[in-house]
Amino acid sequence: MKTVDVFWSHQSPYCYFALDRILALRAEPGVEVVLRIVLPGVLRIPEFYAGRSDLERDYFDLDVMRTAAYLGVPYGMARPSPVEMRPGTVFQAEADQPRIAYLNRLTAAANDQGMGWAFLDQVARLLWDGTKGDWDKDRALQDAIERAGLNFRNLDAQAERRAEEFDESFLHNHKMLISSGHWGVPAFVYNGEPFYGQDRFDQLIWAMGLGAD
């Protein structure tokens, strides 16, 4: 069995950009793809983002649009952002983070049932494909979770009851990511070697010996 750990953050559109390729990789015989949720970088390693400029934000805005067009995937900024940013700042987060905390705990509950990727197949698109604003309002999130074949009420209860346990798992996953040799997402770790970024996915496939004629 060839095992790949995928480190994922709901705040990263680049994770979403890799989603279809990850799902295809999961369908390969003899491959296990392990989902490891981490907090967004601005919460995990805020010092890394301190002092970043509007120039970097402007480039990010350009790059995500261009990358989506290149890959041919629908895209729009998540509305609202999973992370609550401090007004007037570029990459600085508020202390209170109800949206990302809830999303992460729901994902962990789904993953605990072996349905983490089915969850992301619906929820990541809800956030990032640009077709739905206010993903956190009304039944949008609930409907996406139920389309994934999951019971929303059960996940919601698990997210609340096991919040501390799940939050500890996100910290553990961060430590695993750092020990692999990188800090960013998406990161794909195979045989202890990190492949960082959706644009390194082909190199991951090459390293795994897949995709050859």
Model pLDDT for residues 186-200, shown as the tens digit of each residue: 999 999 999 999 999
**Does the pLDDT at position 51 exceed 80?**
no
Question: Residue 159 in contact with residue 176, Cβ under 8 Å?
Answer: no
Other CB atoms closer than 10 Å to residue 166's CB: what's the count? Answer: 21
If 0-12 CB within 10 Å is exposed, 13-18 middle and 19+ buried, where does residue 198 land?
buried
Structural domains of the chain, with CATH: 2-208 (3.40.30.10)
In tens, the pLDDT along 70-115 reads 999 999 999 999 999 888 777 888 889 999 999 999 999 999 999 9
